[in-house]
Amino acid sequence: MRATRGLTVAVIGATTALTLSACLASPDQSGETAGPDDPIVVGVSLPLTGDFAEPGKGVQRGYEAWAAHVNENGGLLGRQVELVIVDDQSNADRVASDYERLINQDGVDLVFGPFSTRLVVPAAQVAQDYGFLFVEPAGAAAEVFEQGFTNLFYAAPAIADDHYAHLAEYILALPTGERPETIAVASMDDPFAQGTAYGLRDALAAEGIEVVVDEVYPPNTTDFSGIAAEIADSEADLLIVGSQYQDGVNLVVALQQQGYQPEMAAISGAPTNAEFPAAIGEKTEGILAPTGYTPTAPYPSNQEFVEAYEAEHGTPPAEDEANAWTTGQVVAAAVEAVGCADPSPECQTQLIDWLHSNEVETVVGALSWDAEGRPQSAHLIQQYVDGEIKIVLPEDVAEAELIHPKPEW
Partner 1 sequence: MTGDLFAQSLVLGILLGGLYALLAAGLTLYFGVMRVVMIAHSAFLILAAYLAWYFHETSGLDPLLSLVITVPLFFVVGYGMQRFLVSRLRPISLTTMSVLLTFAVALTIEGLLGFVWSGTQRRVQLDYSSASIELGGVSIAVVKLIAFALAAISLGALYLILRKTSFGRALRATTQHPEAARLVGIDTDRVAGLGFGLGLATAAIGGTALALDYTIYPSLHWHWIGPLMAIIVVGGLGSIPGAAIAALLLGVAASLLQVPLGTTWAQTVFYLALFVTLMIRPQGFFGGRLAQRF
Examine residue 225 and tell whether it contacts partner 1 (CB under 8 A).
yes
> Smallest distance from the beta carbon of 32 to partner 1, in angstroms?
44
Task: Summarize the chain as % helix, strand, coil (round to 5).
Answer: 45, 20, 35
Contacts of 127 (CB under 8 A, 6+ apart): 99, 103, 111, 133, 134, 151, 152
Cβ proximity to partner 1: between 112 and 224 the closer is 224
> Smallest distance from the beta carbon of 183 to partner 1, in angstroms?
17
Are the C-beta atoms of 266 and 249 separated by less than 8 Å? no
Instruction: Scan residues 235-274 and list those touching partner 1 (CB under 8 A).
Output: 245-246, 249-250, 253-254, 256-259
Which range binds partner 1 by CB under 8 A, 64-72, 132-140, 275-283, 354-362? 275-283
Q: Give CA 30 to chain center in angstroms.
A: 33
Instruction: Scan residues 191-220 and list those touching partner 1 (CB under 8 A).
Output: 215-218, 220
Site string for partner 1, 173-192 (x = CB under 8 A): ----------------x---
Cβ proximity to partner 1: between 24 and 278 the closer is 278
Q: What amino acid occupies position 35?
A: G
Cβ proximity to partner 1: between 53 and 68 the closer is 53
Cβ proximity to partner 1: between 176 and 222 the closer is 222
Q: How far apart are CA 150 and CA 370, in angstroms?
A: 10
Dihedrals φ, ψ of 115, to 5°? -105, 145
Torsion sign, CA atoms 39, 361, 384, 255: positive
Torsion sign, CA atoms 142, 143, 145, 146: positive
Cβ proximity to partner 1: between 12 and 229 the closer is 229
Size of the site for partner 1 (CB under 8 A): 36
Examine residue 221 and tell whether it contacts partner 1 (CB under 8 A).
yes
Helices (H), 188-235: 191-205, 225-234
Examine residue 115 and tell whether it contacts partner 1 (CB under 8 A).
no
Q: How far apart are CA 53 and CA 57, in angstroms?
A: 6
Burial label, 262 (beta-carbon count in 10 A; 0-12, 13-18, 19+): buried
Q: Considering only residues 82, 190, 230, 319, which one is a binding residue for partner 1 as defined by CB under 8 A?
A: 230
Examine residue 387 and tell whether it contacts partner 1 (CB under 8 A).
no
Instruction: Scan residues 35-74 and list those touching partner 1 (CB under 8 A).
Output: 49, 53-54
Instruction: Scan residues 276-335 and list those touching partner 1 (CB under 8 A).
Output: 278-281, 283
Examine residue 401 and tell whether it contacts partner 1 (CB under 8 A).
no
Q: Considering only residues 35, 74, 226, 405, which one is a binding residue for partner 1 as defined by CB under 8 A?
A: 226
Are the C-beta atoms of 388 and 379 separated by less than 8 Å? no
| Of the candidates 139, 179, 322, the residue with the CA atom closest to the CA atom of residue 263 | 179
Dihedrals φ, ψ of 232, to 5°? -60, -40
Binding site for partner 1 (CB under 8 A): 49, 53-54, 189, 215-218, 220-223, 225-227, 229-230, 232-233, 245-246, 249-250, 253-254, 256-259, 275, 278-281, 283, 409
